[in-house]
Amino acid sequence: MKIAAVIVLLTVFPGLSSLADPEILIENDTVEFGLVPQRSRFVHDFKVRSIGDDTLIIREIETFCDCLIVSLDRNILPPGDSAIIHIAFDTQNFVGHRNRHPKVHTNAANTGPKVLRVHIKSQVIDSVHNLYPIYVKPHQVVASQFGDTGATEFSFPIINKSDENIPLTLVHADSTFYHLDFPAYVPPYDTAFGRVILKESGLSAEFETSITFWYLNEDSEQKYYSIPVRRNIFRPSSK
- Summarised one tens digit per residue, pLDDT across range 148-199 is 788 999 999 999 999 999 999 999 998 999 999 999 999 999 999 999 999 9
Whether a cis peptide bond, with omega within 30° of 0, leads into 183 is no
- Tens digits of residue pLDDT in 56-79: 999 999 999 999 999 999 999 999
239 — pLDDT class (breaks 50, 70, 90) = low
User: Could you tell me the sign of the dihedral formed by the alpha carbons of 125, 126, 129, 130, in that order?
Assistant: negative
pTM of the model: 0.85
Which residue segments constitute the domains of the chain, with CATH numbers given? 19-125 (2.60.40.10), 128-234 (2.60.40.10)
Cis omega (within 30 of 0) on the bond before 113? no
Other beta carbons within 10 Å of 110? 14
